[in-house]
Amino acid sequence: MSEISDGSTTTPVDSTAKTPRGATSPTRRSTGGGADLTTPIPAQQMTRVARPRESGGKGGRSEVDTGSAPPVVGPVQVAQRRRESGGKGGRSEVDTGSAPPVVGPVQVALRRGARPAIEESDSSSEAAASTGDQRSATPRADSMRNKRPDKIPAAAWNRICDGVAFNEVREPYYKERGGANEVYVADAKGRRYKVDSYMPNKEIVSRKETQFSEIKESTVMGYLQELRRKYNPSMRILSTEGNLKKLPDYVGKNLAGVQVLEIPSQKNREVLEVFKKRALDDFQIMIREARL
């Protein structure tokens, strides 16, 4: 180590200190009585400021905090993280900022306890999907397909049979949860209707085997109007043989629960979201996909 003197002050200089390549060393000024004198600050002192924020490991590169603000985490980022689907070679889906959820009578009812059991997946449906079969065996529907009336076109009859099959496939889901399929009800004038599925005090379900993107808007609106008109809480559960066997404790009582329009998984997600919002806003009905 050498010393430099300006006549009144002696300043030690570390001749062994090295400044990192490409870096300009800040200087320290000597305030003696003579001329100004500057000396380089050792590089070791320069790096001490950054070291407390450095992160690194054996053989790894360290990252120095440059003073930038922390990343902003808002609703879009939260939605993105929740919807990211990982896995080897998988692609993630990013929410680019969808509209906020609608809060209406249905959501209020859910928060008060009339909470529908929304199905995410089903072991039977997963098994069917793994074998490439999109619909389970349905003996009633299969029997109908072989008995088409001559006056009904084949395409129309197949759609009817598909609806029956959809009911058969979904029946176990409701039975396991204390509900039933094909519950007969009547209005104040004695007109009888058949509810596709009913879970007492939870869900009143109408089921349609269709793709919204393949039918007219007026047809979807008709489904919603039918559900509101025929399967509302003013309907009384009839004392029929089937009802007494399926729901003996509820015969003679009125329907109660959230109205649900149940459909198969939809191919066009954008069209689905449009109708889901309209159903809530205009009819207070929940549209739900069933995983077949």
pLDDT digits (tens, 9 = 90+) for 196-232: 999 999 999 999 999 999 999 999 999 999 999 999 9
Q: How many CA atoms lie within 13 A of 50 on its CB side?
A: 13
Length of the chain: 292
Token pair of 168 as six digits: 């058969």
79-97 burial, b for 16+ CB within 10 Å, e for fewer?
beeeeeeeeeeeeeeeeee
For position 291, what pLDDT does the model report? 73
For position 73, what pLDDT does the model report? 52
Nearest CA-CA partner of 159 in 227, 215, 119, 205: 215
What mean pLDDT is predicted for residues 48-56? 43
Q: Taking 80 as the threshold, does the pLDDT of residue 162 lie above it?
A: yes
Domains of the chain: which residue ranges?
178-290
CA distance 119 to 290: 7
What mean pLDDT is predicted for residues 7-32? 49
Reported as a single tens digit per residue, the pLDDT across 104-143 is 444 444 444 444 444 443 433 443 333 344 444 688 899 9
Higher pLDDT, 105 or 154: 154
CATH class of domain segment(s) 178-290: alpha beta
Give percent above pLDDT 70 in the chain. Answer: 53
